[in-house]
Chains A and B, each alone.
Chain A
Amino acid sequence: MTEMQAGAIYDRGYRHYDGPREGRSRRMRAIVTAGVRRCLGLKRNWKTKVVPFALLVGAFGPVFAFIGIRLLVGESVGQFLGYGRYLGVVALVLLLFAATAGPELLCPDRRQHVLALVFTRPVTRADYLAAKLAALLLVIGLVALVPLVVLFVGNTLTAPRAATYLREHAGDFGRILFAGGVLTVFYSTVSLAVASLTERRSLATAGLLGTFLASTVVANIIFFTATSFPGRRWLTFLALQGLPGRFVEWVFGTAAPPGSMAAEAGFTGPAYLAALAVLSALGLALLAWRISRLQP
C-alpha cells in the first residue's frame, strides 16, 4: 500500500502575477475604501474607533430613539423631531465629525510620508484628491444624510397609512436630499482644505473647530455691540457655524429665532446657499492648490 503524504509545504519562490489588472477606477476605489476605513477606524485598533463611532451614535441615536418611541406610543408622539430641527440638533455633531474625519484622511499620509509610495503608482494628484474627497463625502454623508433618510423611512413605516405619508411628505424627501447633500459638500471641502494646510491632525482639527466656533462668536459680539456700523448685517456671513443652520431653515421653511443675528440681518435663504457654495469652492481651490504642491 502506498503511503499517503499528509501534507507538504512548498516554497514556490517569487512568481510573476498573470491575473487580471484593472485601471484607474480600481486605483481610485482602493483609495476611497482605505479612506472610509481610516475615517471610521476600521481595521485599526479600538482606540481609533472611539471618536467616529461615538459621533455616529450621536447622529443616529435620536433617530432610532424617536422611531422606537413612535412604535411604542404610536402617532400621538407627533412630529416633534422634524427634519429641519434634526439637522439643527446634529449640526455640532456634523462639525465635530468633519473636524476629525478630514484631518484623519489627509494628514497621516503626509506626516508618515506614505505619499512617497502612493505617487509611485500610476496615481495622479487629481486622482488622489478626487478619491480623498469622495471618501470624505461618503463619511460626512453618513451623518448629514443617512440619519434623515432613516428618519423619513421610519416615519413612513410607523405612519397609520404609509402610502398617504409618502404622498404628503414626498417634498420632505427631496428637501432632505438637497439639504443633506449641500451640507455634506460644504463640510467635506472645508474640512479637507483646512487639513491640507498642516501635517498634524490635532492642529487641523483644532483649526477647523476654532475657526467655525470663534468666527460665530466674534461675529455675534460685533453684530450686537457695534449697532451703528452700517454694514453689520453682512457679519452674518462670517458666522461660519451659523450658515448651515440658516440654509437648513430656509430649505425646511422654518424661521430664524426672533432677535437673532440672522433674523435681524434679513438675508433670504439663497444668500446663505450662495455663501456655502462660495466657501466650498474656495475650499476646493485651496485643496487642489495644496495637493498640486505636494512633494512625495
Chain B
Amino acid sequence: MPVAQVQGLSKRFGAVQALRDVDVVVEQGCTGLVGSNGAGKSTLIKLLLGLIAPDSGQAVVLGHDVATDPLAVRAGVGYLPEGPCLPGDVTAADFVAFMAQLGGLPPRQARERASEICYQVGLEEERYRAIGGFSTGMQQRVKLAAALVHDPRLLLLDEPTDGMDPQGREDMLDLILRVRAELGVDVLVSTHLLGDVERVCDRVVMVHAGRVLLQGSIAEAAGTTAPGYGVQLGDGGPEVQAALAAAGLEVRPAGAELHVRSPDPGGFPGTREARSPEAHEARSPQAREARSPQAREARSPQAREARSPQAREAADVIRDVAVDHGWPLRRLAPRAPSLEETFLRLQAAVSAPAAGPRAGSDGPPAQPVRPWGAEVPERTGRGVRR
C-alpha cells in the first residue's frame, strides 16, 4: 500500500505554476524526490502536509485525505524543512522536547524521548547548548531529531544535506539509512543532489517545471538511459569533444575522461556517416595498434555482453573517430548510466520541444514524459481511472 498518493495536483502562486497536474505514488521504503531548484519539490511536500491548499487534485497520505483531515496526516508525519527554522536561543534538548509535546507526548516522556533521539542523531552533550551556536550540520541533526521525536510513520526530508560539508553530508545520509533500517520509517527525501538519492533511496520521483518526469525504482530509472562509455581519447580537449559530437555522440567531460553515449536509445543518427567506407579504409594496422590495452579489455566478451546494441554502435563510432583522426584511444570502458544522466536527458526532452517553459514559468505545456513502472492513469474530470 502506498504511503502517499497524489492525483492531478496543481498549484499556482500568482503567475507561477508551481505544480501542473501531478500524479505521484510514494511507495513504502525510501523515495527520492528529485528536481532542480524551483521544480516544485518543496511545494509538493507542503501540499502533502496540508500546509498549503492545492488549486485542484487530491493528496492522500497514510490513508488520510490531506484536504479533509490534515491534522491526522501531520500526526503521523515528521518533516525536516529546508533552510533555517530553529530558535537560536533555546537548547536543542528543550526544543526537541517541545516538538515532542506538540506531537502529543506528555512532558516527562517528551524530555526522555528528546534526549534519546538527540543521542541517536549524534547530538550528545551538545544538546544542552543553545542551537544558535551550532554548525549547519548540527542544526540539520536537530531538525532531524525534531522530525523523529514523536515517532512518525513517514518522514519528509526537504534538502536534508543542504549546506553541509562532505563529512556532514555522509553522516546525514547514514542517519537516514539508519532511520529506515532500524525504525522502518518510510522516507521521502527531496533533493537536487542525485548522488544522495542513489545512496539512500530505492525509488525515485523526478520533477521538472512542476511536472513529473518519471517515477519508479532507481534501477529502472537508470535503465531508461542508454549505457555509455568512459573514454580517454587523444588529449580529451575541445577538438576531440567536437569530433565525437560531430559523429552524433553525446559527450560530457568528467574529470580525466569523457563520458560518451548515444543520444537516442532508439537509434543512432551519426552512425552511418561515421562508418562510411572511407572511414573503414582509414583503419590502418598502425591505428589499430595505437589502441591501448584498456581499450582491448573493454572489448572483452563480458563487457560486450553488458552493452546494448546502441552502446556497441557508440563504441564503433568512438573507435572510428579515433582512427579517422589518428588519436590514441587509451580507454574505452562501458559504464552504466547514472541517475543524473537520466534526469538531464528527461529534462532536456521536456524542455526542448516546448521552447521555453522552464520551472515556474507559465508557458505552453511541455509534452509530458510517460512515467514508467506503472500504467499511465486515464484522467476523467477530477478523478483518475486506471
Contact = CB atoms under 8 A, between A and B. Distances in A.
Interface string A77-117: 00000000000000000000000000000001000111011
B105 A19 contact: yes
Interface string A21-37: 11100110111001000
Nearest to A23: B104
A254 interface: no
B86 interface: yes
Closest 8 CB pairs of A and B: A30-B101, A121-B102, A17-B151, A122-B71, A21-B104, A120-B79, A116-B85, A113-B85
A218 to B, nearest CB: 37
Interface in B61-119: 71-72, 74-75, 77, 79, 81, 83-91, 94, 98-99, 101-107, 109, 113, 116-117
B49 interface: yes
Interface residues of A, number: 35
A17 B150 contact: yes
Nearest to A18: B151
Contact of A27 (B104, B143, B183): B104
A21 B105 CA distance: 5
Most buried by B among A27, A119, A121, A124: A121
Interface residues of B, number: 45
B77 A120 contact: yes
Contact of B120 (A13, A22, A43): A13
Nearest to A123: B102
Contacts of A21: 103-105
B84 A14 contact: no
A296 B52 CA distance: 9
Interface in B13-59: 46, 49, 51-52
Nearest to A45: B89
Contacts of B88: 112
A296 B86 contact: no
A75 B51 CA distance: 62
Interface string B100-142: 0111111101000100110010000000001000000000000
Given A16-B183, A17-B150, A114-B87, A26 B94 contact: no
A120 B104 CA distance: 13
A161 interface: no
Nearest to A19: B109
Nearest to B112: A19
Contacts of B89: 44-45, 48
Contacts, number: 106
A40 to B, nearest CB: 13
Given A121-B102, A296-B46, 19 more contacts: A13-B182, A17-B105, A17-B150, A19-B106, A19-B113, A21-B104, A22-B106, A23-B104, A27-B104, A44-B90, A113-B83, A114-B86, A114-B87, A116-B81, A117-B79, A117-B99, A123-B74, A123-B102, A295-B52
B179 interface: yes
A15 interface: yes
A108 B179 CA distance: 31
Nearest to B72: A122
Nearest to B46: A296
A173 to B, nearest CB: 34
Nearest to B151: A17
Contacts of B103: 21, 121-122
A172 B274 CA distance: 103
A120 B74 contact: yes
B85 A14 contact: no
B102 A27 contact: yes
A26 B101 contact: yes
Contacts of A16: 151, 183
Contacts of A117: 79, 81, 85-86, 99, 143, 146
Nearest to A122: B71
B12 interface: no
Nearest to A25: B104
A30 B146 CA distance: 15
A20 B107 CA distance: 11
Given A17-B105, A21-B105, A112 B84 contact: yes
B178 interface: yes
Nearest to B105: A21
Most buried by A among B49, B72, B151: B151
B101 A20 contact: no
Contacts of A29: 101
